Amino acid sequence: MLLALRRCNMPMETFDSRTAMVPPKIPPRTAAQPGLTTTVDPRQGLRRLTASLLAQLHNRLDLGRATISLQGPQPRVFRHAVDGALYELEGAEALRWNAWLSALPHDAPCLRIASADGARCYALDALSGARRGSLDKAASDALGQLCASQSAGLQALTIPFTSYGQPLGCLCLQRCGRPFHADDLFWVYSVIRHSIPLLERSDLLEQLQRESAAHERERIGRDLHDSAIQPYLGLKYGLEALARQAGTEHPLSPQIAELVQMTIDELATLRDLIGGLRSGSGSAVGDATPLAALERQAKRFEALYGLKVSIRAPDAPRLRAAAAQSLLHMVNEALTNVRRHTGASMVRLQLSATEDGLLLSVGNDRSQADGVPQDFVPRSLSQRAAAMGGSLRLSQRRDWTEVLISLPLLGTLG
């Protein structure tokens, strides 16, 4: 699908309208995009394609920051920062960004020039680069919000792009020093024209993958309901019948009641898991602090095995649902490892946010009889941490063992 652009041979002014220049000819389609169409495969994913596009714009135009907003079934916003890293804006930040863009003209590039005397904002002609007129106050304020700073000398150029008259997204390019010129705009349009088909195909592939994954999650959820929920229901009904037969005076009645309650709790956990699986969140809890779920897990562990579990999470951050579910799985596995491989009488869990992400500490007291070698590393826990982009470290002292799991900020915190 080609970008709706027109070529012309009319002269183009620089954006500050102080000089005139003849634009360079648009190179052939195969050469206008130096590498993106030949080295990037849509199957590599929208994020990687966007990173390649923004890096190319960043290097060619000497940008301070480049941001692209892409419309679609699931709008996404990517930013190439000064340090070369690619970030995806999510949640409220992405909503604010798109709201500011919506206040700008949808059919014209816009330019903001900041100086010691204030900022000037213009709408530009997409064909020549000449000024069409000043922006109104609402659009000027929105363009100012898009800027990384309000310092003098910073210029921001927004370039909306469409396909067959339908809006596809918008670029926001920022730099200090050298002003933007009409040939910059012309070159960016030529790059976008060649990039949009790849971005569209990549976005479509990811959409198909999401739909396929949703169908698979639904199928797995049904299977889990039949294979896991139903047996637990049978166990619950059997225990309740046993409790009725034993009566309240039987010496084992309190223990039977505890088993009934644990079965009810496990059923609730399974239903949460299946509900989250079907919704794609991985948990029915949603974005929340995991402290309450950790406390429930610790109480169940204490009731089942008599192992004292203490939890400390004074600044427990909000986690994305999938990350919270993975964290609970890791905690459960760590507690199981302590029970199976050590003679510990207590476990201490600590959860905290760091500058880089999330830190989970699982420590237990250690006796001389514990047969855990010094170089032991819990393989499954390490794999879970690595799958989230994190790492695991084991620390053993004479009377204490501690597992430290570090998880990255990106993709973990909500």
Q: Of 176, 91, 97, nearest to 142 (Cα)? A: 97
Cα 128 to its chain centre, rounded Å, is: 38
Residue pLDDT, tens place only, 195-241: 888 888 888 887 787 778 777 877 887 787 778 788 888 888 998 99
Predicted local confidence at residue 10, as pLDDT: 34
Task: In the chain, list all ranges with CATH 3.30.450.40.
Answer: 12-211
Q: What is the mean pLDDT of residues 141-168?
A: 85
Beta carbons within 8 Å of 311's beta carbon, 6+ residues apart? 291, 294, 295, 298, 349, 350, 351
Looking at residue 358, its amino acid is L
Return the CATH number of the domain spanning residue range 12-211. 3.30.450.40
Q: Please give the model's pTM, rounded to 2 decimal places.
A: 0.54
Percent of the chain with pLDDT over 70: 80
Cα 178 from Cα 1, distance rounded (Å): 33
Task: In the chain, list all ranges with CATH 3.30.565.10.
Answer: 291-414
352 phi and psi angles, rounded to 5 deg: -150, 155
Architecture of domain 291-414: 2-Layer Sandwich (3.30)
Please tell me the total number of residues recorded for the chain in this structure. 414
Residue pLDDT, tens place only, 261-320: 888 888 887 787 777 666 655 444 444 556 777 888 888 788 777 888 998 887 766 776
* DSSP code string of 163-184: ETTEEEEEEEEEEESSPP-HHH
Query: How far is residue 200 from each of residues 35, 43, 50, 82, 129, measured CA to CA in Å?
Result: 18, 11, 11, 26, 27
Confidence of residue 27 (pLDDT cuts 50, 70, 90): very low
Instruction: Look up residue 365 and give its two tokens.
Output: 């007291």
Looking at residue 184, its amino acid is D
Instruction: Look up residue 18 and give its two tokens.
Output: 């102080």
Looking at residue 14, its amino acid is T
